[in-house]
Amino acid sequence: MPMNFETVEVTTDFLIVGGGMAACGAAVEAAYWGKQHGVKVTLVDKASMVRSGAVGMGLSAINQYIGVTKGTNTVEDYIKYVKYDLMGIARDDLVANIARHVDSSVHLFDKWGLPFWKDDEGGYVNEGRWQLMINGESYKVVVAEAAKNALGMDNIYERVFVIEPLLDGDRIAGCVGFSVRENKFYVFKAKAVLAAMGGAVGVFKPKSTGEGMGRSWYPPFSTGSSAYFTIKAGAEMTCQEVRFVPVRFKDAYGPVGAWFLLFKSRATNAMDEEYMATRRSELANWGKYGAVKPIPANLRNYLGMLDQFEGKGPLFMRTDEAIANLAKKYEGDEKAFKKKMKELEAEAWEDFLDMTIAQALLWAATNVEPEKGSSEIAATEPYFIGSHSGASGAWVSGPEDLAGGTDYFWGYANMTTIKGLFAAGDASGASSHKFSSGSHAEGRIAAKAAIKFILDNNTQPNVDAAVVEALKAETYKPLEIFEANKGYTTTPEVNPNYILPKMFMFRLQKLMDEYVGGFSSNFSTNTKSLNRAMELLTFLQEDSDKLAARDLHELMRVWENKHRIMQAESHVRTVLFREETRWPGYYFRADYPKIDEENWLCFVNTKYDPQTKEWSVFKKPVLNLFNVD
Ligand code: FAD
């Protein structure tokens, strides 16, 4: 591998980092305001925008639609839903700001040609209260096309992996990254930057093994870069302990939303007991959160897990029963009954084909006929996804008109505590349940605020050339380490002088799984375990200096793991700090097994000092701005 890498410098005003839902929303909005004010907008994505990010494979439902103008729901309704689902831990101002803008993002998707299910009157078809059904295999293609048209391809850099932020004192100045296809090192200089690089997969050991190991619920694209970027910039972070453990169809991780909400299916254990009924009394242990409808996702998980811990697994989605119930009213009219059964069967398969093709393949490969038998469901491994039912991300300013005091507002909506650095989607915390549509809307909110920031602070920050050179050397060091040491052993996978990223990832995943409450430790942990995890993480951090790469693709894997470990460390530190169990179906603190509203109804925030490399972990208040309690 030649070691000469060209440096490409890109100077812009507003840099959008990531090409997913939040980034695409930001691109459309920034292009609109940017054109009016002569502001140059640039976007950089690690992959190809039309299929990058969590929506890359498609989705079968848009999970956040309020229906404000029709009066279907109110913004307050949504805040209440989010806050209770997260056991009290959410920012009212951020959730409200997204909720009041999300419908317009959905209307844009409709206008751009995304096929929605429509009823006889032309209205949207709901899956549940907030979810709209779509034929969404090409959802991301439609959304990315609009973003590309808005910015123009000259302003878009694809297949460039962003590794580090650049700072000018207390202000963001850009970032550096490398092409995963060409020998090019990129230096982006910008007046404002939006971090929108999604959440993190692969921090915990996956249940899938062997060739199937890449199969997880969360797609493989995003590996903690948002968290790494904002933490390394010195931004305050929040909810780093709030991971997400979805319950999905077993092994291929197919979605369950349509089954529970649209098909009204039940879930039962191996003894045909419905754990949501037989375990109901357990809900009383989780305060007012156990008494609401819908029951918070983590508590639903927990009731199923309790059955599994007692050996009553596997758990089953009763697809056959649900389909039979829906077709019941057509019994007696053979033609209509057959037609309805065909329709339901088609919907069942399409749900997977729209967003998790592997599940349809697994069903086909294992002779599953959903109308004839049940299918296994199971809790997955943990993920970090602040836009879904997790909450981790940067601590960002709320909007001025919903200001909740200085803790929640400092000038520009969605700006982190670093001047000019914004965050949206999975990258911003404490505003769960924004999903694809809300992430798009939040990207638009952040972009509009970033353009305002640029107009108010219209100078190009300085970038220290020596810092850039040092980062370039560090970026490619793994290639040099491999070249210098590859002759030492006969098999490149094993070498005393370096570690390949795959082995490094295995070490990270093993320690997180065993000591921080992964699936093999029944999602349970305690102080001693967490301290041991910190010790092992420190050794792993030391060994990260010896990471080696054989080519550019493996170099990307190196950097993915350097990013993951930062996400891991902030998680361990915050799980350790919060001395209670608040989300038992996501993780359980065995030494503090109860929820403690008096001491822990608060955010746990962190700050990393990039100079001293020291962390601080502290509490921030949960404010009740909309009286939704
Ligand atoms: P993403 O859309 O994931 O985009 C992240 C972007 O960052 C990608 O373009 C990626 O390539 C890029 N990136 C990552 N690292 C780097 C780097 N180092 N340098 C440069 N670029 C980088 N929502 C719904 O509305 N309905 C659903 O049914 C639904 N189902 C879901 C199912 C799954 C399995 C998952 C994971 C999510 C689901 N969601 C659903 C939620 C939705 O997908 C997310 O809320 C949304 O994609 C978050 O947007 P984002 O922009 O933050 O991240």
In this prediction, residues 169-174 reach a mean pLDDT of 97
pLDDT, position 629:
75
Q: Ligand 1 mean position to 480 CA, how many Å?
A: 33
Of 24, 46, 556, the residue with max ligand 1 atoms within 8 A of its CB, to mutate for a pocket test, comes to 46
Give, using CA atoms, the residue closest to atom 53 of ligand 1.
198
Token output for 286: 């989780």
CA distance 146 to 142: 7
Average per-residue pLDDT for the chain: 96
Catalytic annotation, pick one of 243, 248, 318, 573: 248
pLDDT, position 122:
94
| Domain layout of the chain by residue ranges | 247-379, 476-597
Which atom of ligand 1 is least distant from the CA of 64?
25
**ipTM beyond 0.90?**
yes
Highest average pLDDT, of 18-22, 327-331, 333-337, 348-352, comes from: 18-22
CB of 53 closer than 6 angstroms to any ligand 1 atom: yes
User: How do strand 6-11 and strand 588-589 relate by DSSP bridges?
Assistant: unpaired
pLDDT in tens, 255-280: 998 899 889 999 999 999 999 999 99
pLDDT in tens, 239-252: 999 999 999 999 99
Domain 247-379 in CATH 3.40.50.300? no
pLDDT, position 518:
98
pLDDT in tens, 376-433: 999 999 999 999 999 999 999 999 999 888 999 999 999 999 999 999 999 999 999 9
Question: Number of H helices and number of E strands within the chain?
Answer: 17, 21
- Amino acid (one-letter) located at 252: A
pLDDT, position 213:
86
CB of 59 closer than 6 angstroms to any ligand 1 atom: yes
Per-residue pLDDT band for 41 (boundaries 50, 70, 90) equals very high
- CA-nearest of 201, 179, 202 to 47 is 179
Listed in order, strand segments (DSSP E) in 484-549 are 524-525
Per-residue pLDDT band for 139 (boundaries 50, 70, 90) equals very high
Q: What topology is assigned to 476-597 in CATH?
A: Methane Monooxygenase Hydroxylase; Chain G, domain 1 (1.20.58)
Phi, psi angle pair for 618, to nearest 5°: -155, 170
248 carries an active-site annotation:
yes
pLDDT beyond 70 at 318: yes
CB of 109 closer than 6 angstroms to any ligand 1 atom: no
571 carries an active-site annotation:
no
CB of 63 closer than 6 angstroms to any ligand 1 atom: yes
The 8 Å CB, 24+ separation contacts for 341-348 are: 341/371, 344/263, 344/371, 345/370, 345/371, 347/258, 347/262, 348/258, 348/263, 348/319, 348/323
CB of 34 closer than 6 angstroms to any ligand 1 atom: no
pLDDT, position 2:
52
pLDDT in tens, 554-578: 999 999 999 999 999 999 999 999 9
436 carries an active-site annotation:
yes
In this prediction, residues 133-148 reach a mean pLDDT of 97
pLDDT, position 404:
80
In this prediction, residues 540-562 reach a mean pLDDT of 98
Query: Would you state the torsion angle of the CA atoms of residues 565, 571, 575, 581, taken in this order, to the nearest 10 degrees?
Result: -120
Kind plus residue range of the DSSP H or E element containing 59:
strand 59-62
Q: Ligand 1 mean position to 200 CA, how many Å?
A: 10
600 carries an active-site annotation:
no
Catalytic annotation, pick one of 127, 347, 513, 560: 127
pLDDT, position 1:
52
Q: Ligand 1 mean position to 385 CA, how many Å?
A: 8
pLDDT in tens, 80-110: 999 999 999 999 999 999 999 999 999 999 9
pLDDT beyond 60 at 61: yes
SS3 77: helix
CA distance 602 to 578: 10
CA distances from 585 to 4, 161, 295, 303, 372 (A): 50, 34, 12, 8, 30
pLDDT, position 211:
86
Contact 44, 188 (CB under 8 A): yes
